[in-house]
Amino acid sequence: MLSKFLKLIIKYYLYSFLLLALLFLIRFINTDKDKNSVTDNAPIAVKDSLITDSRNGHTYRTRRFDKLWWMIDNINLDLEDSLYYKEIYIGKGSYCYNNNIKNAKKYGQLYDLSSAVEVCPTGWRLPTIKEWEVLNDKYANCAWDNNSSTGNYRERLPLFEPVGGGKGYLYRGFLPQEKNKAEDHLTYSGQNKFAYYWAQTERSKPYFFSINMQRCEAKRSLYQGASTRKTLAQGKFYSCRCVKEAN
């Protein structure tokens, strides 16, 4: 009697073990399939496209990074707006580097902040400073080199392809009767060495993002005392890129 009981118990546990093993095998196969399915159907992290700006017919390359489409060409649009400081005309809202229109083809135009917040096409906007930082952290192609004097370098250009458009600064000290000479008071620097990009204002704080084109360095900066009002337009001019949420 005891022998039969032991055989029954052993048989029960043996069948239970086999059943559990079979269930585990089935779960493992399905999990592996699910992983492959997720991999196959996952959103493409980087994807290219093109858009045409209906305002002037310019075509811009765009690239999807995760949940955002980014322009990977600098905006090149003359808004034909005017800037005033204490009701005195101080210049235009955008300029080509060194006032040379040929520079706009590669570098786009440089905008003051009041113009930058308006320059993106319908459905697009300036990126936030946080979005700039996330993009750079993930796609900057930086590497560490202990033998380098700076410690870091670029293996290749970042996937978002910044261009060293430099910056412009407009001196406000000229007289109203000199308004036609405003461009003579605009100075430029940093071309091919730095890329400066406006960010969307956050809580009325105007940030811009600067990228060192020679070393793997990038940082956010806050432009103190700036305003998006044209009557209080600041005198700094940076490049612009626009973003759009991916569907």
Residue the block writes with tokens 């940030």: 207
Answer yes or no: is 12 within a domain: no
Residue ranges making up the domain that contains 212: 81-242
Q: How many domains does the chain have?
A: 1
Taking the model in full, what pTM does it have? Answer: 0.77
What does the pLDDT look like over 120-176, one tens digit per residue? 999 999 999 999 999 999 998 877 666 666 556 666 778 999 999 999 998 766 555
What does the pLDDT look like over 11-62, one tens digit per residue? 655 556 555 665 555 554 444 444 333 333 344 456 899 999 999 999 999 9
**119: phi then psi, degrees, rounded to nearest 5:** -85, -20
Tokens of 97: 């580097």
Answer yes or no: is 201 within a domain: yes
Answer yes or no: is 136 within a domain: yes
Tokens of 199: 């960010």
Cα–Cα distance, 160 to 141 (Å, whole number): 10
Residue the block writes with tokens 């080199």: 145
Answer yes or no: is 91 within a domain: yes
**Count of alpha carbons within 13 angstroms of residue 209, beta-carbon side:** 22
Residue the block writes with tokens 């360095």: 217
Answer yes or no: is 160 within a domain: yes
Max alpha carbon distance in the chain (Å)? 118
